Structure 1
Amino acid sequence: MHINAAYIIDFLAYKAGRPLKLKELAKELGIAEKDYSSFRSTVKQLLAEGRLVKLRRSRLGVPSELNLVVGRITISKGGSGIVLSDSGQQIVIAPTHTLTALDGDKVMVRVSGEVEGEIHGKVIKVLERAERNIVGIFRSGEHFDFIVPDNKKIHRDIHIAPGLSKKARDGERVIAKITQWDDPYRIPDGEIVEKIGMPGDPGTDLLTVIKSFNLPEEFPRRVSDEAMQAAEYFTPEELNRRRDFTGESIYTIDPVDARDHDDAIAVEKTGRGYRLGVHIADVSFFVRENTILDKEAFERGNSIYLPGMVIPMLPEKLSNDLCSLKPHRKRLVYSTIMNFDDNGKMNDYEIVEGIICSKAKLNYEQVQNFFDTGRADEAIGKVADGLEPARELARILFKRRMAEGSLDFDLPEAIISVDEKGEITSISNRVRLESHRLIEEFMLAANRAVALHVFRLGQKFLYRVHDKPDKEKVEAFSYLVSTLGYHFPASDNMKPIQFARFLERLKGKPEEEFLNELMLRSMKKAVYQPQNIGHFGLAFSHYTHFTSPIRRYPDLMVHRLLKKLKHGRYSDKLNKQLATVLVNVGRHCSETERTAEAAEREAIKIKQVAYMAKRIGQEYQGVISGILNFGFFVRLGDTGAEGMVRLSTLDDDYYKHDEKHFRLVGRRTGRTFRLGDPVLVGIQSVDKIRNEINLFLIESTGKEIPAKQKKRKK
């Protein structure tokens, strides 16, 4: 007799009505002697997963019936934790109640009560350690060796026993794993599994990021072999069955150093408005479902862009060759052809499998120069007739989108140039050109059209959604900006247009950049899921990702779903399968996207610190971007780097942290430092191990608080 795991849990929770010993449970379920061994193994697995728990006198119970919750713990830099259960319940864990849990571990939590609307609890068992590389600095102590983890969420050093150090040098960055940690009052035991190198050595910085975030590296041999064989799919028969766009004036616009070109465009003026063709590399033709190549792409989820390095989702044979829309080469595409009126309203659209032959490979600066001067080089000259209507349409679409309430966060993006050794040659902020906006608008239009198309058909699909922000976070943002003299009322049912109008008010103000960033932080993260709830930030009721299948797995999935729709492969059975598959794909790809973003931020920060290490004593204009009780952070001009001015370096007064108004106030002089204030600072020192930049203040606009605002001593 086979008893599945779900039935065992349901029986204990609802039918038995009380915890039972193993043999009592077997008897109640009618388990035959010949099936007992298999039954016992199933129960053992349920205990390991935390779906059952063993109580006193070896009785088995269901966690949910015993005020216990199982979930992954997220630990903050301060040491506190958050456990999110499968049901969505969020439990706050104090630093003293995390037991031996580390960030990402699967834990069992006993709920202890509610405090000010928050559910609190304590970890009673670590069920499963998260797969992780612990990257840190090896220290050879007088009495024992240990590792100081780079990750500030790991609050314990790791003891390394004699013989387990791989002969690492003192101060060397290494990768370790924990071998044992059962007692929260002792430090974990571990061993070194790999040496990275000394901090500051060429090549160690990006390797540190790759290892810290468990990023993929080389493709397995079988994956690369399968990618090489994909060229065989390209046949004359396939070309003949597709819509032929090879005679059209189609071109790509990308960064000057781009090697993978997954989108091409063509725009023409018509009697009724504009015709826009967005042609996307048909990656799904080469990456077949459930192949080794497909599974590897899914695991990676997306390409990752680090300074001077790309970790691609697909092998180079596909990303830079077969799928890349190179000029003067026939390439397979999935095309969205849209017709707009003169006001930017889409009248109709068509989604077809096609073939193109790009007439020109352009870059953003090249196109912008043509817009600014009217002068066309050889490449521009081949498609110049299509660039002016493209510019007109992009402006119309942008204006319409802004009027509908779409948010246009104009945040700086660090551009870090490195040489062949990985040494930084320059750091600057990317200038957002009109040519950038042109491609942005056309990709948004195509993504929107595809989402609307499938939604109207009522079939299961993968959407890119962005939920409305939590009222509490909006209220916090509203209060913060009020201290800077802005009025931004928060309410239960805020619309995107309210945020858009506030962003418009910030244009050209000194605090525009960091308030843009703070508003963005007050919002939820966009995710992938099959339930369409719209995209708050874009003010779109329907949205998906269709335009970047070379570097994003969700786009590849969307292409496959469109083909199934077109060729009549959707069925009740498929819809039932997709109900689960799309949830898993959406969740996994949302997680890999977050990991990629965090890794990219960390890599940029490491490069910025290395850049500043060679500029000790140099002066920089900056803006105060954060206030703490021991100092303030400053964002340094075009470098995008952030450093700290510590109060211990200010000798003109004693400064008090006014948390309510997000400022520091001099006790004697009334001099203030507040968010958004421009300052002139110098580079005092750099800590490459902690990735910190220490600054000294040269000049500020800190003003004295009028006497009536100062507190008088009674």
Structure 2
Amino acid sequence: MAKRSKTSTATLPSREDVVAFITSSSGKVGKREIARAFNVQGSDRIWLKQLLKDLEIEGIVDRRGKTVHKAGQLPPVVLADIKRRDRDGELIAEPTEWDEEEYGPIPTIIIIPSRKPRPGMPVAGVGDRALLRVDPLKQGDVHRYVGRVTKILAKQRAQVLGIFQALPEGGGRLVPVDKKSREKELLVRPGDEGEARDGDLVATSIVKHGRFGLPHAKVKERLGSLKSEKAVSLIAIHTHNIPSDFPAAALAEAERAEHATLAGREDWRDVPLVTIDPPDAKDHDDAVHAVRDEDEDNKGGFIVTVAIADVSAYVRPGSALDRDAQERGNSVYFPDRVVPMLPERISNDLCSLRPHQPRPALAVRMVIGPDGRKKNHSFHRVMMRSAAKLSYQQAQDAIDGRPDETAGPILDSILKPLWAAYETVKKARDIREPLFLDLPERKIVLKPDGTVDRIFVPERLEAHRLIEEFMILANVAAAETLEKAKSDLIYRVHDEPSLEKMRALSEVLASIALKLPTTGALKPELFNRILRTVEGSEHQLFINEVVLRSQSQAEYSAENYGHFGLNLRRYAHFTSPIRRYADLIVHRALIRALKLGKDGLPADTTRAELIEISARISAAERRAMAAERETIDRLIAHFLADRIGAIFEGQISGVTKAGLFIKLKETGADGFVPAGTIGADYYRYDEKTHSMRGERTGETYRLGDRVQVKLVEAAPVAGALRFELLSEGRFSRKPQGAKKARGAKAGKPSRRAAPKVKVKRRSRA
């Protein structure tokens, strides 16, 4: 508990006063605002800091960065979708892409429209996506809010995506693919089916919603047969309302754009920068170069240069291209297609750093000391010419002594200095010790006909880490420069884990006899020690996943509260303006702050606008992640649909009252074992040990256990797999004879225990 200062007890606010102030404040509230409101000064600020920590531990307030608010409440500004009207005609909205695991159940926002809108005031309606300033409807109510529309962002498409089921007499029925859809089924009348055939994935609009019978829908677009995996990504695109077609005005602007000239730029065309990307990359927006520093005061140091495509030269603030890019927020990547943020004329031509072709860039030159720390840096607006285009594997093979015809000629002059600089930079990275999670990422390779060829986990190379570390250095340099110039910007922030998630992690670790330290500052180093403890053990994979789940979600913010995962005080995305709108904002801010041209961030850009943009692009990022994840799940379900009855090795990745979640070793696919099918016993869920335990036999299945499962059902549209458990669990005590337990399944054959599976030890820098 926070103890009051003996010298100023009478002047300090009570706990109740502080909570009341946090609850009633509509703007940003942090320690500074509370101290100013109650005139808390000097050493009493330590008392206030401890009080806020106590209130957070007790669950009375929540903290995000340096901001606190009443536990469970929405932040003052929220991006929301307007869903419907209530009986009184008031608009009802819900937060867009709300993360229930992160922030709790979805609250309801009641939007009270003005009786008489003032000129220029945005007038919202059902289907709009808008930025709202919100306040609780009444004190203490965290589920109902009054919202004021500050900006309308986009009109949601009034359509339903579903599977068309043809009827003999014509027309058909539509089964929505969205499990959250209000409509379980819709009727398509004869003549309204368009070109849809039985089993097709179609987009429809609701044309009639009567009081009785099924609502009527009209097919607007045939998206393809679900027999081809090419239709799978379209499900995610449409259900998440991801803009996939560029407006005519944006395309026209892109086609009219002309190549940038050398005017106003430094000539860097002789600097041998190279691009290193995935082998299937279509656009190349970053290039790197390194050379030993010849300065006598920096012996053993390097000069590292990172050049980034100058998108701001072509996408001007307020243009059609800019408005569309802001709505998209980022490019979205699926196994069979990319939904880009910018048209190909920009992303794949004018701004792609193609080898041996002049391209405009914004570059940062960083002086690295022999200890790996950045000593200083400078930004330059340049015209560059890439010396070579390499894939990660090409670059790595060359360093490992297997150069090809592209990498061979530049091995000694370009690649070896890059690796030497990286070895130096690693020293500072290892001291900083960012969070290191060893989680393999699945990659799906499709055949020409769109069906799944194979699923594999690509190898992580030093070439990947080299590019990542240089990009991190450039991003930090961008944030530092803008802060020094006192310029507003959009940060990339990552809050530290909440106390609730830390408690949950502690319980999981206790189930495998590991203890989470309860003292000392919360830093990535703490989690890294845990990860090193389980490295090479049977628990390695699932502990990495549990630690990942314990982390907060990174986002964009005009307020800086640091990046916990990278263990950095300031960080801004600068290195991918082709595919992320946040980076384009940072580029424009640098151009304006450093007087590098007239196409920087407009002088009248306010902090409030950046707050709105941050909320919008953070939601767009969450939308993209959900769409990409769902598409992977659906593709894997398609891939396994013809393997019903097959047996797989897996690991228990989650335990709930409803059953066990299983992650397959072969593909990384996730599936479910319902509790009622586990075994010949009645199994109870133990929340503390994250396990299922048989009442009669004591047989136990717990998080992280290796198991064998049989695939019994695959639902490609839902992306769901259902398994039957074959392995025996652990026994904490001997079975109690043959007495049948409640919920047992008589006559079920005994299951053969899964063989032990060795985990290969993966070395990580």
Pair in the same fold by TM > 0.5: yes
1:137-195: CA deviation from partner (whole Å, max 9, x where unpaired):
34579999754432222354144374585265565433334557698x99766554334
Alpha carbons 1:360, 1:382 under 8 Å: kept: no
CA distance in 1, matches of 2:528, 2:587: 32
SS of residue matched to 2:407: helix
Q: 1:255 — aligned with what?
A: 278
Residue 697 of structure 1, CA deviation? 3.1
Give the letter for the 1:355 counterpart.
Answer: M
Give the letter for the 2:303 counterpart.
Answer: R
CA distance in 2, matches of 1:69, 1:299: 22
Alpha carbons 1:314, 1:550 under 8 Å: kept: yes
Q: 1:625 — aligned with what?
A: 653
Relative to 1, partners in 2 of residues 1:433 and 1:471: Cα closer, same or farther, differing over 3 Å?
same
Relative to 1, partners in 2 of residues 1:560 and 1:176: Cα closer, same or farther, differing over 3 Å?
same
Relative to 1, partners in 2 of residues 1:110 and 1:294: Cα closer, same or farther, differing over 3 Å?
closer
Give the letter for the 2:108 counterpart.
Answer: V
Alpha carbons 1:464, 1:543 under 8 Å: kept: yes
Relative to 1, partners in 2 of residues 1:246 and 1:574: Cα closer, same or farther, differing over 3 Å?
closer
Relative to 1, partners in 2 of residues 1:672 and 1:325: Cα closer, same or farther, differing over 3 Å?
same
Relative to 1, partners in 2 of residues 1:378 and 1:139: Cα closer, same or farther, differing over 3 Å?
closer
Alpha carbons 1:74, 1:83 under 8 Å: kept: no
Residue 309 of structure 1, CA deviation? 0.9
* Residue of structure 1 aligned with 2:523, choices 476, 495, 500: 495
Alpha carbons 1:478, 1:490 under 8 Å: kept: no
Q: 1:415 — aligned with what?
A: 443
1:318-357 equivalent positions in 2, closer than 5 A: 318-357=346-385
Q: 2:255 — aligned with what?
A: 228
SS of residue matched to 1:214: coil
Residue 472 of structure 1, CA deviation? 1.6
Give the letter for the 2:502 counterpart.
Answer: V
Q: 1:521 — aligned with what?
A: 549
* Residue of structure 1 aligned with 2:220, choices 185, 193, 217: 193
Give the letter for the 1:264 counterpart.
Answer: A
Alpha carbons 2:97, 2:619 under 8 Å: kept: no
CA distance in 1, matches of 2:206, 2:445: 37
Residue 650 of structure 1, CA deviation? 4.2
CA distance in 1, matches of 2:735, 2:682: 20
Residue 708 of structure 1, CA deviation? 12
Q: 1:538 — aligned with what?
A: 566
Alpha carbons 1:160, 1:192 under 8 Å: kept: no
The 10-residue stretch of structure 1 (174-183 or 104-113) with the greater mean CA deviation from structure 2: 104-113
Relative to 1, partners in 2 of residues 1:358 and 1:673: Cα closer, same or farther, differing over 3 Å?
same
Residue 243 of structure 1, CA deviation? 2.2
SS of residue matched to 1:584: helix
SS of residue matched to 2:292: strand
Relative to 1, partners in 2 of residues 1:107 and 1:269: Cα closer, same or farther, differing over 3 Å?
closer
Q: 1:137 — aligned with what?
A: 163
Relative to 1, partners in 2 of residues 1:216 and 1:49: Cα closer, same or farther, differing over 3 Å?
closer
Alpha carbons 1:74, 1:82 under 8 Å: kept: no
Alpha carbons 2:507, 2:688 under 8 Å: kept: no
CA distance in 1, matches of 2:543, 2:201: 36
Alpha carbons 1:75, 1:103 under 8 Å: kept: no
Q: 2:289 — aligned with what?
A: 266
1:305-344: CA deviation from partner (whole Å, max 9, x where unpaired):
1002111111112211221111111111110100111111
- Is 1:317 aligned to residue 345 of structure 2? yes
1:696-707 equivalent positions in 2, closer than 5 A: 696-699=724-727, 702-706=729-733
1:666-712: CA deviation from partner (whole Å, max 9, x where unpaired):
23332221111112223333122332222233435x210146999xx
* Residue of structure 1 aligned with 2:405, choices 369, 372, 378: 378
Relative to 1, partners in 2 of residues 1:132 and 1:609: Cα closer, same or farther, differing over 3 Å?
farther
Residue 580 of structure 1, CA deviation? 2.5
SS of residue matched to 2:232: helix
Q: 2:243 — aligned with what?
A: 216
Q: RMSD across aligned C-alpha pairs, in angstroms?
A: 4.1
SS of residue matched to 1:602: helix
1:103-502 equivalent positions in 2, closer than 5 A: 119-120=142-143, 131=157, 133-138=159-164, 147-154=174-181, 156-160=183-187, 162-163=189-190, 166=193, 171-178=199-206, 190-231=217-258, 233-235=259-261, 237-238=262-263, 241-271=264-294, 272=298, 273-372=301-400, 374-385=401-412, 386-489=414-517, 494-502=522-530
Q: 1:563 — aligned with what?
A: 591
Q: 1:11 — aligned with what?
A: none
SS of residue matched to 1:210: helix
CA distance in 2, matches of 1:122, 1:566: 43
Relative to 1, partners in 2 of residues 1:102 and 1:309: Cα closer, same or farther, differing over 3 Å?
same
CA distance in 2, matches of 1:411, 1:170: 40
Alpha carbons 1:450, 1:546 under 8 Å: kept: yes
Gaps of 5+ in 1: 1-47, 88-100
CA distance in 1, matches of 2:592, 2:548: 36
SS of residue matched to 2:643: coil
CA distance in 1, matches of 2:133, 2:484: 43
Q: 2:108 — aligned with what?
A: 83
Residue 234 of structure 1, CA deviation? 2.4
CA distance in 2, matches of 1:339, 1:550: 26
Alpha carbons 2:230, 2:336 under 8 Å: kept: no
Relative to 1, partners in 2 of residues 1:594 and 1:73: Cα closer, same or farther, differing over 3 Å?
closer
Alpha carbons 2:229, 2:452 under 8 Å: kept: no
The 10-residue stretch of structure 1 (555-564 or 241-250) with the greater mean CA deviation from structure 2: 241-250
Number of residues paired by the alignment?
A: 629
Q: 1:8 — aligned with what?
A: none
Residue 278 of structure 1, CA deviation? 0.4
SS of residue matched to 2:696: coil
Give the letter for the 1:365 counterpart.
Answer: Q
1:284-311: CA deviation from partner (whole Å, max 9, x where unpaired):
1122222222222222211111002111
Identical pairs, percent? 35
Relative to 1, partners in 2 of residues 1:218 and 1:457: Cα closer, same or farther, differing over 3 Å?
same
Q: 1:25 — aligned with what?
A: none
1:538-687 equivalent positions in 2, closer than 5 A: 538-567=566-595, 577-687=605-715
The 10-residue stretch of structure 1 (207-216 or 499-508) with the greater mean CA deviation from structure 2: 499-508
Give the letter for the 1:260 counterpart.
Answer: D
CA distance in 1, matches of 2:347, 2:186: 43
CA distance in 1, matches of 2:381, 2:134: 52
CA distance in 1, matches of 2:331, 2:97: 25
CA distance in 1, matches of 2:96, 2:349: 42
Alpha carbons 1:106, 1:130 under 8 Å: kept: no
Alpha carbons 2:290, 2:305 under 8 Å: kept: yes
CA distance in 2, matches of 1:551, 1:583: 20
Relative to 1, partners in 2 of residues 1:145 and 1:69: Cα closer, same or farther, differing over 3 Å?
closer
SS of residue matched to 2:107: strand
Residue 269 of structure 1, CA deviation? 2.0
1:532-558: CA deviation from partner (whole Å, max 9, x where unpaired):
221111111110010001111111111
Alpha carbons 1:139, 1:146 under 8 Å: kept: yes
Residue 390 of structure 1, CA deviation? 2.3
CA distance in 1, matches of 2:326, 2:690: 44
CA distance in 2, matches of 1:111, 1:411: 40
Relative to 1, partners in 2 of residues 1:485 and 1:191: Cα closer, same or farther, differing over 3 Å?
farther
